[in-house]
Amino acid sequence: MRLLVVEDDRDLNRQLVKALTQAGYAVDAAFDGEEGQFLGETEPYDAVILDLGLPKIDGASVLESWREAGRAMPVLVLTARDAWSDKVKSFDAGADDYVTKPFHIEEILARLRALVRRASGHASSDLVCGPVRVDTRSGRVLVNGEAVRLTSHEYRLMSYLMHHVGRIISRTELVEHLYDQDFDRDSNTIEVFVGRLRKKLGIDVIKTIRGLGYVLEPPTPPAA
């Protein structure tokens, strides 16, 4: 899952990026409206955390321009203004959720999980695919009830696949959604990660579709 944080306060931006990275997201940071607007329009993010009081271009205008350009990723708005009239304006501009400052990072994490889940059509925080279960709140992965230890990169890959069960996902898409923009992108690393993940899970849920990419599907029962 790849996120964008647009916040002009350097400290708050750093804290958000750190906490989100620890929670298993790939995170890009922008410090003003112009940069944020550009990144949001060009990169495929799974969710955006957007401060409303931004230099250069204000947050509401950035959000509106994204929506006009057809960018539909979930956007969590951050603002100090907690009047209902401000909230109505934000939602009308296209926000999906709203957190007022000051906040605890945990609140942001919880809201983000819910936003990403809802955007991919999942109602529960537990993602299930056959014997595989991912608890997005705790970041635990279970196979047949047994915990599997994954590195953060492996978890990120697993989580993205679990959010899009049954859909063919290209390597490019995986690269775009698993790494932040500064990462040295080499699609070969994806193959390495997929290989490791298959080994750790021990069951055959990640299938390779030649020339297209990967698809996560419940394992076909062994032929009788």
Partner 1 sequence: MIRRFSIARLSIGSRLFVSATLCSLIILFGAGFVLSTIYRRATERSFDERLQVYVQSVAANVATKNTANAIDPYGLGDPRFTLPLSGWYWQVRTEGRLTPEVLSSLSLFGGRLPRLDSLNIPAHDGSAREGFIIGPDERRLRLVERALELPDGSRYLVQIAGNADEVELAIMSFRNALWTSFGLLALALGLTTIFQVRFGLLPLSRLSNEIGAIRRGTSDRIGGSFPDDISPVADEINLLLDVNRDILARARTQVGNLAHALKTPLSVLINEASETDTPLSDKVLEQTSLMRDQVNWHLDRARAAARAGAIGVVTDIAPAVAGLERTFLKIFSYKQLAIASALEPDLKFRGEKQDLEEMLGNLVDNACKWARTEVFIQALAFTDPDGRPFIIFEISDDGPGLPAEKRAEVVKRGERLDETVPGTGLGLSIVADLAKLYGGDLALEKAEKGGLKAILRLPAV
Residues of this chain that bind partner 1 (CB under 8 A)? 9, 11-12, 15, 19, 53, 79-85, 87-88, 91-92, 95-98, 100-106, 114, 118
CB 206 within 8 A of CB 214: yes
Minimum Å gap between C-beta 91 and partner 1 is 4
**At its nearest, how many Å lie between partner 1 and the CB of residue 156?**
22
Pick from 124, 131, 134: which is nearest to 205 by CA?
131
Using the minimum distance from each CB to partner 1, give the nearer residue, 70 or 102: 102
Q: Judging by DSSP bridges, how do beta strands 47-51 and 75-79 pair with one another?
A: parallel
Min. distance of Cβ 85 from partner 1 in angstroms?
Answer: 4
Q: Tell me whether residue 15 or residue 21 sits nearer to partner 1 (CB atom).
A: 15
Q: What is the SS3 assignment for 57? A: coil
Measure Cα distances from 152 to 10, 82, 147 in Å. Answer: 25, 35, 15
Which has the closest alpha carbon to 190: 166, 161, 218?
161
Pick between residue 63 and residue 114 the one whose CB is nearest to partner 1. Answer: 114
Q: How far is the CB of 30 from partner 1 (least distance, A)?
A: 16
Is 39 or 75 the residue whose CB approaches partner 1 more closely?
75
